[in-house]
Chains A and B, each alone.
Chain A
């Protein structure tokens, strides 16, 4: 017990140092800071504007009005931002495998998965977070959601779960590199698919696809199910904390599977060789 506690303290200590270092490294390239500050908010503001244009041209999207879509969009962007901060490395795992970068992690007395994701923490993800929060608050206002303590707890639990689901999926995709030994940059495609399935209600899509998005690749739990429960749309499930907790549970399961797959893949890892 005492040992476990000491180890936990050690990990927390390392994490604090790592975050400090991450902040220092982002100052390395000033043009990069400017770039991220423009790029990420730009992307989401434009994306949000486009949803508005589409709603104006077509009326509602499958029964969701503009305010409700803003709510959904906000959840999607915030969880995207959080997953970018902690799990973006999953996108680039292929390069790490090809270049033998895991050697360094394997020689250190810390968990490999912990090191891989936390020593490369991506502070720039914050630039995604801000527009996300703004749009989310705008959506809350438009839908006249009373901000109560219960609501705040719901949102926090749900976002944790949503971030874990996204992170788990990135890790699963990235870990395929251990087996294929190739550096596929699925990042762009993953994001495009995630955008399409989390920023719009998945009830747009045919039953078969909804089934896949609910049970096989649980992307639906990132934003669609929690949002429709909180807004009371198409509610087959009751409100309260239940749906948020299910999201968290799904996130935990996805993460466990991803972790197991990562560990299994790491056993197959055999450096870059020379």
Chain B
């Protein structure tokens, strides 16, 4: 455990090297957040409430979606791709640590650094320029925190599974894009699924993506009843378990393959 904590620490220090990145990312994310907010404001100009959600809740949704997106940044897929391509994965595997444990610790470290570099500034800017994202019902806070933690795990597992493809395919730039678009468009990060036709959103709720953004955010803005939330969180947990099982099976498979290659 101590080893992994050390990796987390190293990663935090690494993240602080380039100052310009920090400012650049904040500026870019602010622009994205503001354009989204105006997009919804314009759409709600004629209606007060669509699908049971009003404009104010939607603005909270936008701010919190930007905040959550910071926590959902992963690097594991690129990390695997680069280390397989350059062959450094062999050296990594000789170290007395679990390979994926290292990747996970690195991503945790990255996210911890981002909380201060990115998440808090974004939250502050969003509150000042758009709306203070107040939770609809503060009693739902534990539910929100649990579902957000689970959504981080689901997100990381999906990223890691895509990354594992690099062990056989080597170059997975395109697949990383596929993953990115699937999450961006099907998770409700930009446009929540309740604006989709019922048949489409029913199919999409069978996929794990909805549980990454939309579930925690729905809980946050109080869309739906608590019973519905609990029901969906159960489904979220099922997805988490399924993905974990696939992950552990695949992990053994891919590491065995690399061992063979190493002679």
Contact = CB atoms under 8 A, between A and B. Distances in A.
Contacts of A47: 185
Given A46-B181, A182-B20, A36 B174 contact: yes
Interface string B72-101: 000000000000000000000000000000
B242 interface: no
Interface in B15-33: 18, 20-21, 24-25, 28-29, 31-32
B199 to A, nearest CB: 11
B225 interface: no
Q: Which of A31, A46, A180, A206 has the most CB of B within 10 A?
A: A31
A204 B32 contact: no
B38 A193 contact: no
Nearest to A37: B174
B250 interface: no
B15 to A, nearest CB: 12
Interface in B149-198: 165, 169-175, 177-178, 180-182, 185-186, 190-191, 195-197
B74 to A, nearest CB: 13
A189 B169 CA distance: 27
Contact of A206 (B38, B182, B186): B38
Nearest to B185: A46
Decide if the interface of chain B is mainly helix, strand, loop or mixed.
helix
Given A57-B195, A184-B21, A29 B170 contact: yes
Interface residues on B, range: 35 or more
Interface residues of A, number: 44
B35 interface: yes
B18 A53 contact: no
Given A47-B185, A58-B43, A193 B28 contact: yes
B261 interface: no
Interface stretch (B45-53, B139-147, B215-223): B45-53
B191 A43 contact: no
26 contacts: A31-B169, A31-B172, A32-B172, A35-B174, A39-B181, A42-B181, A42-B182, A46-B181, A54-B195, A57-B50, A58-B195, A59-B46, A61-B42, A124-B174, A184-B24, A186-B28, A188-B180, A193-B31, A196-B32, A197-B35, A205-B35, A205-B39, A205-B42, A206-B38, A209-B34, A209-B35
Given A33-B174, A53-B191, A53-B200, 19 more contacts: A32-B169, A32-B173, A34-B174, A35-B173, A39-B175, A39-B181, A40-B177, A47-B185, A49-B200, A58-B47, A184-B25, A188-B180, A189-B29, A193-B28, A205-B35, A205-B39, A206-B38, A209-B34, A209-B38
